[in-house]
Structure 1
C-alpha cells in the first residue's frame, strides 16, 4: 500500500494463491493419504471460493468440502468437475437442489439417509457421504447407530461413497480422546469396508492414527498453524494492511478513543487507521492488539471502533509516520494465531471474519 496507489477503502487484504497451493501440496505430502481434499467453507476461510477453488484445482485438488448448499453452488461454478461435499447435511426438501448441482450431502442422521435414498430411488443414484459422530456430539450418527444400519438395504440406496468423522482436539498433542476417536472410527470402517474413509483435518494430517483414504485440511491451507506450540510449517496466505489517516502528538494525561479507556503516560505520538470492527477486526482486540509500522510493533490505543483504530506509534521510525503510510495488522510477524490470541479468540475467527469492504488483491 503506497500513497501512489489510491484505494477505495482504508484496508487492503492481499491473498497469496501461490502460498495456498504450496500449503495444500505440503499437507498432501504430510498426510500420506491416497487423496487430499480441501475445505473451502466460510468462503474459503475468508479468502474467496471463486479464487481459491480454481487455484487448488490447478494444483491437483479434486475434492472440496463446504458447509452449506449456497457455498456448494458457488464452489460448483468455481470448480465444475470437482467432487463437492456439503458438510451440514441438507434441510428437508432440498435433495433435488443438491442433485441439480451435482453436490454430495454429508448425511448425519437416519432421517437424512432415508430422504436421500428415497430421492435416489425416484431419480437415479447420486453419491453422498456418511458422517459418524465419534466424540464431538454435534452432528452425525452415533457409532451404535452406524453399526446397526450397516446391513440395512437403505444404506446401499443412499449411494454412499465416503465415511467420515470429525476430530475433537487433534491439535492437542497426545490427547487420549483422539486415540479413542480413531479407534471408534476403525470399528465403523470395518462395518463399511466398501467406503472410502476420511478422519484427518489439518492437525490430523500430522497424526498417523488419523490417516485414512482422504485427508481434508482446512485452516492450515490458509496459513494457520496446525501444530500449536510448535513452529508453523505453513506459508502465510493473507496479509492485511491499512493506511494511516492522520498522525498527532498528545501530552501526558491525554485520552484516546471511546470512553477514554486509554490514557497517555507521557508525551505520545498517535496514528489513526481506516479500519475497524465493521471490517471484521475484533473489538475485543482493544488493549491487546498491535500493528506493525516501519518494522516496529505498535500497540492499539483506546477502543477498536467501527471504522477506525488508533495506534501508539511513539516507537516507530519518524520517516514512516506520514499520511498514507501502511500499517500491517496481519503479516510481518503478526500471524493469524497471534492476532487471534491478542483478540482473546482463535485465528480461525480472525480469518473467517475478514470483512467485505477491504480492497482484495490476489497474487499468484
Structure 2
C-alpha cells in the first residue's frame, strides 16, 4: 500500500451523511433494528478501511447525525466506535445536525476521544504540516448564502494542500437533497482547492475532478442500486486527486419492475434477482405488471408471501397491475354444481362486462378460487 503521507500529498477518506439515529419508522421493529445497527457498523467499516489503506484522516462532510437532538446512546455509540480506530476523525455539522451554542456538538465534544475533532467553526485547520482543511459548518438547517464563500478569505500559511469540507447542494436535488445551502459549482477553482469534499447527496457523485460527493456509507432509501460507499482520496500538490470508491454498506435497497405474463416469466425474474443479491441483506421495492391466468397469479402471490418475503430483509410488493385472466382450466376448476359454481359463473360474467363492478368481481373470483383450492386440499 502507498504510505499515508505522499510526497507533498496526502491519502485520506472522504465520507458523509451517516444519519445516525435515523428512525426508519416505516419498517417493522426487527428491520428497524437491523438498519440502525448497520449505520453504526459502517463506522467500524470506515475505520478498518482507513487502516487497511494507510489513510490517517477521515473527513465526514456533514450529517453525522440524523437530527440535532439525538439520544445520548446514539452519541456514545458513535464516539466509542470512532475511538476504537487509529485514524483521526474530522466531523462537520450539516443541515440535519447543524451547529448551535449549547446544542448537539457540545454534547459530542464532552464525550469525544482525542482522535475526534468537531469543525463547528469556519476556521481553517492545519491537520499535517502544509495540509489545511477549510471547513464550512452549517449553523442553520437552511442557509441562504453559499457556506463555502468564506473559503476565499481563509488564511492558510505555508499550504501545500487545501482541502474544502462542506455540506450542501451544487445543484438542486429536489426532494432528495436541500435546495438551500447552495454551493458554487466551481468552488474548488474559485478558492484554489486541491479537493472539495462534499456531503448532502446520498450517492457517490463526481462534480468535477476536484469535487466529489462521497454519498452515504450505508444506503437508506429506494433511489439507487449501489450499496453504501466511502471515497479513498490521494491528493498530491500539482496533480489531480485520485479518487477510489470503497464499499462499506451492508444493505442494498433495490427497486425492480417486472413484466410477467406467465409463471415461467416470474420465475426467470426471481432467479435473475437471486443471482445478483444476498437476500438477507436486501430491501426490495417490487412492482409486477402483466396478464396471467388466475391460477398463475395466485401462485405468484403465494410465493411472494411465503418465500421471497421471508428470504429478503424487507419486501414491498405492488401487484395490482398483475391482472388475472381466467383460463378455461381455471373455470373448469370452479365448474361445480351448486352455489359455488353459480357464483363463479356470475362473477366471471361481471368481470368480462367492463362495468364499474368488474374490478370487485375480479378480486372476488380470485378469492373464490383460493378458498375452493384450500377446501380441496383439506
TM-score by structure 2 length? Answer: 0.36
Higher relative contact order (CA 8 A, sep 6+): 1
Which is higher, the Rg of structure 1 or of structure 2? 2
